[in-house]
Amino acid sequence: TEFRGELYCGFAETDPYAPLSMVKELDELLRPCPVDYRYAIHQGAQHGYALPNRDIFDPHGAARDWEQIFAMFHRQIPAYTS
């Protein structure tokens, strides 16, 4: 099966559920696919950094993720730009 399209993932530097070794493996698996894949590793962030009601909320990391996600929507969803 081929994955096509565009994908953005935001990762915390410290995350027991998505360790940096897994991020590297995902990158290696997606590299040969016809997909525009971007990701960010947020330095100093922990798992759940994008949730505003958490004590580990990282507003800069969350804002960067949303900027990337909305830019992707504008590129990929024609009705979104109308």
Total Cβ atoms within 10 A of residue 68: 16
The DSSP secondary structure of 20-48, one letter per residue, reads: HHHHHHHHHHHTTSSEEEEEEEEEEEETT
DSSP 78: G
Q: Which residue has the tokens 């798992």?
A: 47
Q: How many domains does the chain have?
A: 1
Check residue 82 and give its pLDDT.
61
Determine the structural domain holding residue 40 and report its residue range.
Answer: 5-81
pLDDT confidence of residue 35: 87
pLDDT tens by residue, 6-60: 999 999 999 999 999 999 999 999 888 888 999 999 999 999 999 999 999 999 9
Place of tokens 């099966």: 1
Whether the predicted model's global pTM rises above the 0.95 cut: no
Q: What letter represents residue 64's amino acid?
A: R
- Calculate the average pLDDT of the chain: 92
